[in-house]
Structure 1
Amino acid sequence: MDTQLKLRAKHWLDNDPDPSTRQELQVLIDTGNEEELQQRFLGRLAFGTAGLRGVVKAGPMGMNRLVVQQTSSGLGAYLKQQVSDVDTRGVVIGYDGRHDSKQFAHDAAGVLTSMGIKVYLTYKVAPTPLVAFGVTHLNAAAGIVVTASHNPPQYNGYKVYWGNGAQIIPPQDSGIAACIDRAATESINLMDLETAKANDKLIMLEDDFYQSYRQGIKAASVLQNHTQPELVSLSYTAMHGVGAEMAETVLADAGVTQVYSVAAQREPDGDFPTVNFPNPEEKGAMDLVIAEAQKHGAMLACANDPDADRFAVAVRTKAGDYLMLTGDQVGVLFGHYLMTHAAKNQRLTCTTIVSSSLLSKVAASMDATCLTTLTGFKWLTNVGMAEQTEDNQCVFAYEEALGYMVGSMVWDKDGLSALVAFAQLTAELASQGKTVWDRLEDIYREHGFHLNAQVSIALKPTTPNIGAYLRKKLPSVIAAKQVMSTDDISSGLRTFQDGTIEAIDLPASDVLIFKLEGGSRVIVRPSGTEPKIKCYYEVVVNMASDDSLDSVQARAQAEMDDFISAHQASLPQ
């Protein structure tokens, strides 16, 4: 075995505080499993704007106690550089129901308190939105939530919020990463949590903190539409996560009495025994909640993902079965609803470049503003916060991956407030003898039926760089449609059909957006790490007076299928 590799593994072993990962590593050393050790010690699990996320395993490429301690030490050092009063403002820490989450959260608290930084630690599992809420509620300098959200059971993660309550953005991520690299070369100190409490460095967030979030939902200006909530019936699943108790509570507070929780998925369980993949977007993940809805004839089948920051819903059709709404459909329903009811100074909405363009059209028709940001909630909330004014408050933000910010009590996606808002939207429609499908149809009749699709294309390792290939000679026609404009986010330039150019106000990113005649659009995002690209497609089809939702959907789907195959055929193989 390579001597350097063996030395690195032994050094790690000497510092690893966890008997189980030490044993795991010792077995690899004893059996001479060089290939596996190489993978474990190839580098470090990268810290980025989403923090850390990876498989729980020994070594610097895995999620484990030593990695969490080193990360916390690096974060603490960065906070001390950047925030003069971090010691007294403190850091909020919460965790989900995965097997290692509580231990990782306690390790983070032990490291930060040993550095003299006050920590607010949740006394039990907490939905991710409660940590984001806690940062601004307690005026903390930062927040940490230990969660792998909707990833498979073997994963865990470490997500960081800044003092504004939003996820970190550059250059905070690279600054923290540099401090983690330094911390990884130093010995790490931990303060025992009982000692930290005795020294007033550790405050446990007990039930009164959870009640503060609950009362915040109850008082939120955007959640005051109490039109006949008793008309709504819904089934609900926490998907073996941490959302059930708060979800049921805030629904009851809003007067929604017909709520049927899926008992088999109600309690936190890090093994996620009833789903292959605890992500509401995955095939089969909504099966039990839809079956529960059918049993009760409920209008809606609702889900949170395991850390309760995302919201998914299937809606009963006239035929009595249930159809899942896409993230874009929920997003435009929320946007339309909130802008209809919002105060005069709540006219700002945000969405991402890969989400449907329909929200911006609805906003324009309602004399409101829709900002478009790079992909990710970190951009939506930081931009929404920066752009809002006293006269134009941010009322809503969404991304197509089932993330919604309803109001601005929490500056991140929040599946719990979204659940309440969707129940209220449905109740108001029911009081008028209408359904969610009727509202969607009204929106489509006014603005066109918008269909969106995402396709990942695997490329051969020999395929030339797609971004460079497309930029060298920008296409003027895609899938037999004229290209009206091309946005190159890497250079910040928009080029129109006639050759004129204007600047785009977005951070540089390797993304190309082609807007085509007739309202179609394709977005190309090359992967920086593997030979594949992600393509996001949108087609817009006008609804004729004799069209039904089904008929226009079928027409749009046929157009989408042709569009995708023609575009993919035009790319170098």
Structure 2
Amino acid sequence: MITFGTAGLRAPVGPGDDHMNVPTVTRTSAGVAAWLSRQESCGDSPAVAVGYDSRYGSHSMARAAAETFAGAGCRVTLIARPAPTPTLTWLVRDRGFDAGVQITASHNPKGDNGYKLYLTGGSQLVSPADREIEELIGAQPAAPQIHRSTDVHLDLGAYDGYVGAVAGLATSGDGHVLAARRALRVLYTPLHGVGGTALEQALREAGFQEPSCVAAQRWPDPEFPTVEFPNPEEPGTCDLLLEQAAGAAPEDRPDLLIALDPDADRCMVGIPDPAAPHGYRMLRGDQTGPLLARRVVGQAVAAAADGAPAPVVATTVVSSSLLGRIAAAEGWDYRETLTGFKNLARAADGAPGELAFAYEEAIGTCPAPQIVADKDGIATALVTAAWAAELKARGRTLRDELADLDETYGAVRTAQVAVRFPTSAAASALVAQWARQAPADLFGGPTPEVTALDGTDATTDTADTADLAGGFRLRWTVGDLAHRVVVRPSGTEPKAKFYLQVAGTVGGADAAAVDAALAELTDTVRRLTA
């Protein structure tokens, strides 16, 4: 049986209990329905929404999930068309549903599909609910014995409702604002996923000119024929986007590049850069996140009433420390969580203020928690485009804003090395090996500080490495440059991930020195993991 990982299930499509298929989804949905029926907050007839993307089997699995929930006595809404994952999360929050399921494998390889589960408010599933649901799934009979009902409401308006809510983030009647937006040239790719129409519609409703797109990747295609892995972070995945931007006539060269992942909950931003190979470079999540936080939260603070609690901003233990620096300087309430938006969406729990912004290193950004309490690629693209248009009208660029972050808060640079394995167990074995003894070549002379990702102190020669095998941090300092390496297994793919950071201080080492130190650290990790 597939176990619940990050937000739900992911596995190859095929027959058997360890694959994604209609019987697996039927038994899983029956287990979820049984769990919902035990929750007092759900009443006698829990309300559940179901959505799906364009991967192989998504529609049939979504239909099976919806009919299984209906057969268990739930009030079920099925989104009527393939849609971005944020459509489902918005719907759960907007309609006050008790749960939502999206059939998608996000940016996984083409052979995979998945089952993302969201609870009240549109936040992802967390423990101990995942373990409780697993037990109930295991207690279900074979799929043919599970009652299904066709009493399912088909929702024709969820897609437009979500896009309208996102477009509302940037709606303006100011003629100068709209003129600036019409002058911004955007080039994007949905990477054969379901985000293209939603992005175009949101930009149009907010007053932008029609964006250009990478035609070969515009329409949903479960084969993902132009990319090996449909993940904007993977080397080579954005090549067609960059090549089209570089080949445009001078008067048509885009001001902003956007790459959505297939279910459009993640967004990678690209900007003009004369020093880059194509004249453009794609920004890492650790660049886009702090950059947008300064903009989005700064605007929210300016609009807040006097005496309002400090806004909460959040990122994860593997992300850049830059957001924490910005928050300390601006007086925001900074929170750091374990990886995943299931944790980030709850970062403000118990805080005086509300969550205003959250991001994770893996190009996942939540710029409007009041609309979607999860990462949202369409909203991220729209907020970025609105700011880029405003800057262009003032003779500035997002590149200028990145340089200002360095000058104001000190240069912080991050990189990631991902080592792919045939199985998740093999990836975890490498993490466990580093937990037992990190290679001395990594840090040279200084002895690193070692902590588990929950902050527990440890040492590299500790006898008990069980806590570290799930992920740990190494920290050491060389001169005035602080080095950090986080090692953990991926929660969604058979990968071991190494998150690298080198940070200078305000007025200390310049950005070039930080860049050089990070390049050296990256080369070392690649050599040690080859």
Q: TM-score range by the shorter chain?
A: 0.7 to 0.9
1:245 maps to 197
Say which of 189, 213, 219 aligns to 1:267. Answer: 219
Alignment identity in percent? 34
Aligned-residue offset at 1:298: 0.7
- Whether 2:375 is the aligned partner of 1:413: answer yes
1:317 maps to 273
Structure 1 distance, partners of 2:492, 2:260, is: 30
Structure 1 distance, partners of 2:469, 2:208, is: 43
Equivalent residue letter for 1:45: I
SS in 2 for 1:307: coil
Structure 2 distance, partners of 1:150, 1:292, is: 22
Say which of 264, 271, 294 aligns to 1:308. Answer: 264
- Whether 2:465 is the aligned partner of 1:513: answer no
**CA separation of 1:561 and 1:184: change in aligned 2, threshold 3 A:** farther
Structure 2 distance, partners of 1:328, 1:77, is: 40
Contact 1:222-1:338 within 8 A present in 2 as well: no
Aligned-residue offset at 1:403: 0.4
Cα displacement string for residues 428-484 of structure 1 (whole angstroms, at most 9, x for unaligned residues): 22122111111101111222222212235688999894466359xx99x9433464x
SS in 2 for 1:519: strand
Structure 2 distance, partners of 1:221, 1:560, is: 36
**CA separation of 1:249 and 1:527: change in aligned 2, threshold 3 A:** closer
Aligned-residue offset at 1:509: 8.4
SS in 2 for 1:241: coil
1:540 maps to 503
- Whether 2:393 is the aligned partner of 1:431: answer yes
Contact 1:87-1:118 within 8 A present in 2 as well: no
Structure 2 distance, partners of 1:361, 1:224, is: 35
Aligned-residue offset at 1:563: 3.4
Matched residue count: 498
- Whether 2:449 is the aligned partner of 1:493: answer no
Structure 2 distance, partners of 1:184, 1:76, is: 14
Contact 1:293-1:299 within 8 A present in 2 as well: no
Aligned-residue offset at 1:376: 0.9
Q: Counterparts in 2 of 1:338-377, with a 5 A limit? A: 338-343=296-301, 344=304, 345=308, 347-377=311-341
Contact 2:68-2:149 within 8 A present in 1 as well: no
Given the two structures, how large is their TM-score scaled by the length of structure 2?
0.85
Equivalent residue letter for 1:364: A
1:204 maps to 154
Q: Counterparts in 2 of 1:169-248, with a 5 A limit? A: 169-184=126-141, 188-193=145-150, 196=151, 202-206=152-156, 208-220=157-169, 226=177, 228-248=180-200
Aligned-residue offset at 1:412: 0.5
**CA separation of 1:174 and 1:543: change in aligned 2, threshold 3 A:** same
Aligned-residue offset at 1:285: 1.8
Structure 2 distance, partners of 1:99, 1:527, is: 23
Given the two structures, how large is their TM-score scaled by the length of structure 1?
0.79
Say which of 51, 59, 67 aligns to 1:110. Answer: 67
Aligned-residue offset at 1:516: 2.6
Equivalent residue letter for 2:138: D
1:447 maps to 409
Aligned-residue offset at 1:495: 7.6
Cα displacement string for residues 142-178 of structure 1 (whole angstroms, at most 9, x for unaligned residues): 0000001111211111110011210001011111111
Structure 2 distance, partners of 1:567, 1:144, is: 38
Stretch deviating more after TM superposition (175-184 or 350-359): 175-184
SS in 1 for 2:211: strand
Structure 1 distance, partners of 2:221, 2:494, is: 36
1:284 maps to 236
Cα displacement string for residues 367-407 of structure 1 (whole angstroms, at most 9, x for unaligned residues): 112211001111111223x1443xx2211100111100012
2:20 maps to 63
1:5 maps to none
Structure 1 distance, partners of 2:234, 2:518, is: 21
Structure 1 distance, partners of 2:87, 2:203, is: 16
SS in 2 for 1:425: helix
SS in 1 for 2:498: strand
Aligned-residue offset at 1:301: 1.5
SS in 1 for 2:10: strand
1:331 maps to 289
Structure 1 distance, partners of 2:381, 2:493, is: 37
Structure 1 distance, partners of 2:407, 2:241, is: 31
1:13 maps to none
Stretch deviating more after TM superposition (213-222 or 158-167): 213-222
Contact 2:338-2:453 within 8 A present in 1 as well: no
Structure 2 distance, partners of 1:79, 1:104, is: 20
Cα displacement string for residues 2-28 of structure 1 (whole angstroms, at most 9, x for unaligned residues): xxxxxxxxxxxxxxxxxxxxxxxxxxx
Equivalent residue letter for 2:381: L
Equivalent residue letter for 2:48: V
Contact 2:271-2:398 within 8 A present in 1 as well: yes
Structure 2 distance, partners of 1:411, 1:378, is: 9
Equivalent residue letter for 1:209: A
1:156 maps to 113
Equivalent residue letter for 2:330: M
| Larger CA Rg, structure 1 vs 2 | 1
Contact 1:466-1:526 within 8 A present in 2 as well: no
**CA separation of 1:546 and 1:396: change in aligned 2, threshold 3 A:** closer
Q: Which has the higher contact order (CA 8 A, sep 6+)?
A: 2
Aligned-residue offset at 1:49: 3.8
Contact 2:170-2:382 within 8 A present in 1 as well: no
Stretch deviating more after TM superposition (538-547 or 321-330): 538-547
Give unmatched runs, 5+ long, in structure 2.
Answer: 460-466
Structure 1 distance, partners of 2:170, 2:183, is: 22
